């Protein structure tokens, strides 16, 4: 129980910190509160679900609620937005796992498969988020969905490839030590 709480709190903290960092670094690329041309936290969604499965989903749900209220968002129902933000990566990762025939530990993960997972995740996230916002507030579905797709895709690639480089560097340092 304690370990699960630590994982959930860790996911919440990483989500909130990277969300706020994304706002600072890419302020010029923000279309509105929910649509960004570069959205690095999308990579957190993928990593949290790959590593922590359902605990990652719970952390993402509460992390989304924190950023929703912290940033003063008023669009849509916060519980529905948090649910969409946390369930989408779970669906995308599991669909990717099935499609790419990956084991539960993602042992055969390659750069090409990360690219495909990022594409699938960005597609799930942008389509479902923008469908909700379109139904709720009659937002510009096609344009916002396209921008969100590219922002999620680029953001997740940036984070996933930075993490890949960091892991390789750590392995290299560990072997040479």
Tens of pLDDT along 54-90?
A: 999 999 999 999 998 888 777 778 899 899 999 999 9
Q: What angle do CA 56, 108, 90 make, to 5 degrees?
A: 25
pLDDT confidence of residue 62 = 98
pLDDT band at 138 (very low <50, low <70, confident <90, very high): low
Evaluate if residue 142 carries a pLDDT over 80: no
Structural domains of the chain sorted by starting position, each given as residue range(s) with its CATH number in brackets: 2-176 (1.10.1760)
pLDDT reported for residue 154 = 93
Highest mean pLDDT among 4-18, 31-45, 125-139: 4-18
- Average pLDDT score, the chain: 88
Q: Which residues of 138-172 are buried (b: 16+ CB within 10 A; e: fewer)?
A: ebeeeebbebbbbbbbbbbbbbbeeeeeeeeeeee
User: What is the mean predicted confidence (pLDDT) over 156-176?
Assistant: 82
| The model's pTM | 0.87
In angstroms, the Cα distances linking 6 to 18, 52, 87, 177 are 18, 11, 20, 30
* Local confidence band at 139 (pLDDT 50, 70, 90 cut-offs): low
Residues in the chain: 177
Residue 104 pLDDT exceeds 80: no
pLDDT band at 49 (very low <50, low <70, confident <90, very high): very high
Q: Please choose, from the candidates 46, 20, 33, 52, the residue with its C-alpha nearest in 3D space to the C-alpha of residue 160.
A: 46
Predicted local confidence at residue 74, as pLDDT: 72
pLDDT score at 14: 97
The pLDDT of residue 169 is 82
């Amino acid at each position: 129980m304690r370990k699960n709480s630590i994982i959930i709190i860790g996911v919440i903290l990483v989500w909130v910190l990277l969300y706020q960092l994304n706002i600072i670094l890419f302020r010029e690329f923000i279309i509105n509160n929910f649509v960004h041309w570069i959205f690095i936290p999308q990579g957190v969604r993928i990593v949290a679900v790959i590593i922590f499965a359902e605990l990652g989903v719970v952390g993402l749900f509460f992390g989304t609620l924190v950023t929703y209220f912290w940033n003063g968002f008023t669009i849509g129902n916060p519980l529905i937005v948090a649910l969409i933000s946390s369930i989408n990566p779970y669906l995308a990762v599991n669909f990717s796992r099935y499609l790419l025939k990956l084991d539960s530990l993602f042992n055969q993960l390659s750069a090409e498969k990360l690219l495909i997972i990022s594409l699938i995740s960005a597609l799930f996230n942008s389509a479902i988020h923008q469908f909700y916002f379109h139904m709720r507030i009659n937002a510009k579905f096609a344009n916002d969905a396209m921008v969100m797709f590219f922002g999620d895709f680029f953001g997740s690639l940036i984070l996933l490839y930075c993490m890949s480089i960091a892991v390789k560097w750590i392995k290299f340092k560990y072997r040479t030590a």
